[in-house]
Amino acid sequence: QVQLVESGGGLVQTGGSLRLSCAASGRTFSRYYMAWLRQAPGKEREFVAAISKSGSSTYYADSVKGRFTISRDNAKNTVFLQMNSLKPDDPALYYCAADNLGYSFAPSAYDYWGQGTQVTVSS
């Protein structure tokens, strides 16, 4: 089992940047695919990005490709989401999630979730 705690959210202007972090408990962090998903008010939760266990492979939603970068530090049990060129469509509660089988675009595939960190973009 793994427990996840997100941080780094906040208010940023359109075109600005934020870096989200997700700290995981336990000694088995490297056994999990890690992902970021987000949910805006009135919308369904959606996939943003995922990273393989070793960090060698990454996956992105089309809406964030070229702007967001997911990375991980297995020595520190942490996964990151660098968000650049933030747009008015990006504000949401951003969640960190983990699964030991693989990554998926479907939120229901993930076994473990954090509480989320809020990202707000002002125009």
- Give the whole-angstrom CA distance, residue 123 versus residue 14: 5
Q: How does pLDDT run across 103-116, given as a tens digit for each residue?
A: 899 999 999 999 99
Residue-wise pLDDT tens digits, 52-91: 999 999 999 999 999 999 999 999 999 999 999 999 999 9
pLDDT at 5 over 90: yes
Q: What is the DSSP string of the chain?
A: ---EEEE--EEEETT--EEEEEEE-SS-GGGSEEEEEEE-TTS--EEEEEE-SSSS-EEE-TTTTTTEEEEEETTTTEEEEEE-S--TT--EEEEEEEESS---S-GGG-SEE---EEEEEE-
